Amino acid sequence: FSFVQIAVHFLFITKVGKIMKLPFNQLLLASNANVGGPTTAAGFAASKKWSKLVLPALLTGILGYASGTFIGIALGKGLLQKI
């Protein structure tokens, strides 16, 4: 199941990236921040010698954690009220 989720995520992000004409390394890093979080995205950027992308990777991952937490709580409350 996780493989299907990540495969769909990768296909979606590459299609949108091609439409928006974004660099592939930035797409990979955004995908990593989305799936693995800020620490793995920063590690990925550092290992690839993309030093200018380490901070954006951290910030993107942190923004994902922050927004995902509130969205998850809201969805959880909404679904539990219907039970």
CA dist 41 and 35 (Å) reads 9
Residue 82: predicted pLDDT? 80
Cα–Cα separations (whole angstroms), residue 18 to 15, 68, 81 = 5, 25, 40
Q: What's the whole-number mean pLDDT along residues 44-68?
A: 93
State yes or no: pLDDT of 46 exceeds 90: yes
Cα separations (Å) of 57 from 11, 37, 60? 20, 9, 5
Record the pTM: 0.75
**pLDDT (0 to 100) of residue 35:** 86
- For CA atoms 41, 67, 77, 7, the dihedral sign is negative
Q: What is the spatial distance between Cα 63 and Cα 18, in angstroms, rounded to a whole number?
A: 23
Q: Residue 52 has what pLDDT?
A: 94
Mean pLDDT estimate for the chain: 92
The percent of residues above 90 in pLDDT, for the chain, comes to 78
